[in-house]
Amino acid sequence: MNSLCERKTDIDVPSELAKLSITVISEYITMPDGVKIAADIWLPSSVVSGGKVPAMLELTRYWRVIHNKLPRERVLYLTQLGFAHAVVDCRGSGASFGVRPSEQSETEVNDFRHIIQWLASQPWSNGAVATVGSSYSGNTAEFAMVDAPNALKAAVPRFSDFDFYSHLTFPGGLLNKVFLEPWGKGIHAMDNNLIGEDIHAQWKDYKGLEVKAIDGEDGNNDLKKAVGQHKNNVSMEAYIHSVVYRDDYNFTSEFDQSYRPMSLHLMQDNPRLGQIPSYHWASFNDAGTAAGAISRFMGSAAPMRVVIGWWSHGGQLDTNPFRAVNSESSPEFEEQFIHIARYLEGLHDLDDQKLKRLNERCLYYFTAGQDLWKKTDVWPPKSVAMQRWYFSDRGQLTTEAPEVEAGSDLYPVDFSAGTGVYSRWNQMVPEVLYGDRKNRDLNLQVYTSPPLKQDIEITGHPVVYLQMSSSSNDGAVIVYLEVVAPDGSITMLTEGGLRLIHRKVSKKQPPYPMFGPYHSFEKSDAMAMDEFIPDEVAFALLPLSVNILKGHAIRIAIAGHDQDSFTRIPNKGEQIFEIFRNRNINSYIDLPINDDTHGSGVDLANPFY
């Protein structure tokens, strides 16, 4: 489809906005404590003629707009679809004043209520506000619901982090270095308005640029003052390496004593989250965003629409493992915002009939290998049942339990094994690309099924149960679910991992619905391995929905490290795993098999309406 706007590098911003019949307001919003928050608001042509419109609010810590640049495409998409679009620099970032004691701090989130009220009170506003955003701004779109005034009518969080520890920063207790290290450097540079040539390559689009000052003769001076305050922000790059356990996420500073950063999964009992409609977007191939979206959906009775596809972080590229590299997303990126505008169309005139759309409660998901959108009101879908596949001798994966009295496989951990830079864990790059895993699997312990006699659909969370020992008292176990084509090529489908000291299955009540053994990742549950003594290491893999064709084979590949994604555990020396597979002590994986492969399909060309 044709784009509503073209992103240009060297432009006359006012004249380009005028061509699009868009006007911009740029000013500070003062918080109750006196801190000034920078906001730019783009207004559609209907406001010029005296109309009143609903406002879309994006709360970001990645610069609301770059100096001398048009706003990001999504801003212009929604503005031209009849919404005012406000983009705000969160406290302590961009051109806003204040200090950040952490990311997603309570102080930051407390600002959101006042910003919403300010927008709703503007002369161009009809009093209705919806929050929207991707990634960090997706988190803030949902956090804004926690203490929301009545003016907030809906939220559209995209590719957000439901559980900040488990779904992004420490999946399985493993430090996600491929994201956290460049991200920490990048946000530090952004907060100081210094994106120099020495910045990490993953921030290359920002090199030599700076945040836009608020319009007016005092704008540049205010920007300098605000950036001066940012020098007191906590360094996430330095802090994150001190974290091992979930309860290590604590901050103490002169700004906020004994601070515990907020995570969306801790907010789910908040009454406003149960009242305000939300529209969540996630991907089976984007860190743990799909896992978070599913747990959020199943842990709440709130009005909620969830859409899970196979996309890159932010939804701009398709990452369907069975499609060509760099394919356009489906729906295409601009079309995604047209769907959002349709979902929110009742906000224009606050018509009760149109607003009923916000009451929908449904989860849409895309089955790769079948190219079919489906919908369900429960996860896993009711037609899904677990099917057990055992690890067997000669590297076989079979539905038959092993009969041998003794049997095991020794795996000397290959610490050079990895998944490449374009993995689900690297949200700093635009693509997710694992490629043919044939050579990478040579470094792993693998178990492969015979060619399938019929197509099967796997939809849900696979759960692996390893009976294993280790030559070290700590380590990492990473399990990949793959498909082997008749030509021998190997495709990654999903993965899961666990740090060995976190293997204890907690008896506590999980904070949200879990789809496998519950590991708390808290210090009190940490448990070193007894060297060479077998123990169970069980955990869920990340969810997926794929159709595997007849003649293909299922493969389980086991690693002890992913050098491209995580920090090494242990940090030196050799390590040997022993995987047991006999009648007395056996290892297996439970795969969620969907018997109703077509019954819940919806129109791919127009999947959500």
Question: pLDDT (tens digit, 9 = 90+) per residue, 223-247?
Answer: 999 999 999 998 877 777 888 999 8
Cβ neighbours, 10 Å, residue 209:
15
Q: pLDDT confidence of 329, banded at 50, 70, 90?
A: confident
State yes or no: pLDDT of 208 exceeds 80: yes
* CB 528 within 8 Å of CB 473: yes
State yes or no: pLDDT of 603 exceeds 70: no
Give the closest residue to 182 by CA, choosing from 161, 167, 160, 198.
Answer: 198
Average pLDDT over every residue of 187-206: 81
Query: 414 φ, ψ to 5°?
Result: -95, 105
What are the tens digits of pLDDT across the range 528-567?
Answer: 999 999 999 999 999 999 999 999 999 999 999 999 999 9
Average pLDDT over every residue of 447-460: 98
Query: 285 φ, ψ to 5°?
Result: -120, 20
pLDDT of residue 327: 78
> Worst-scoring range by mean pLDDT, 195-209, 268-282, 465-479?
195-209
What are the tens digits of pLDDT across the range 408-435?
Answer: 999 999 999 999 999 999 999 888 999 9
Looking at the chain, which residues constitute the CATH 3.40.50.1820 domain(s)?
15-375
3-state secondary structure of 74: helix
In eight-state DSSP terms, residue 124 is T
Looking at the chain, which residues constitute the CATH 2.60.120.260 domain(s)?
384-594
Q: Which CATH superfamily is domain 384-594 in?
A: Galactose-binding domain-like (2.60.120.260)
State yes or no: pLDDT of 399 exceeds 80: yes
Average pLDDT over every residue of 302-321: 95
Average pLDDT over every residue of 357-365: 94
State yes or no: pLDDT of 6 exceeds 50: no
- 212 Cβ neighbours under 8 A, 6+ residues apart: 26, 40, 63, 64, 65, 66, 67, 68, 69, 95
**Residue pointed to by tokens 């990654």:** 492
Rounded Cα distance, 91 and 99, in Å: 7
State yes or no: pLDDT of 110 exceeds 80: yes
Helix pair angle (73-80, 333-343), 10° resolution: 40
CATH number of 15-375: 3.40.50.1820
- 518 Cβ neighbours under 8 A, 6+ residues apart: 505, 506, 508, 510
Average pLDDT over every residue of 590-603: 78
HSE, side-chain direction, 13 A CA sphere, residue 509:
2
Q: pLDDT confidence of 115, banded at 50, 70, 90?
A: very high
Average pLDDT over every residue of 584-591: 97
Rounded Cα distance, 45 and 39, in Å: 19
3-state secondary structure of 151: coil
What are the tens digits of pLDDT across the range 164-190?
Answer: 999 999 999 999 999 998 999 899 999
Give the closest residue to 56 by CA, choosing from 352, 315, 343, 301.
Answer: 343
| C-alpha gyration radius of the chain | 25
State yes or no: pLDDT of 588 exceeds 50: yes
HSE, side-chain direction, 13 A CA sphere, residue 302:
25
Q: pLDDT confidence of 197, banded at 50, 70, 90?
A: low
Rounded Cα distance, 486 and 451, in Å: 8
Mean of all residue pLDDT scores within the chain: 92
Give the closest residue to 460 by CA, choosing from 419, 412, 528, 516.
Answer: 516
Is this structure's pTM higher than 0.85? yes
Is the bond into 592 cis (omega within 30 degrees of 0)?
no
Q: pLDDT confidence of 8, banded at 50, 70, 90?
A: very low
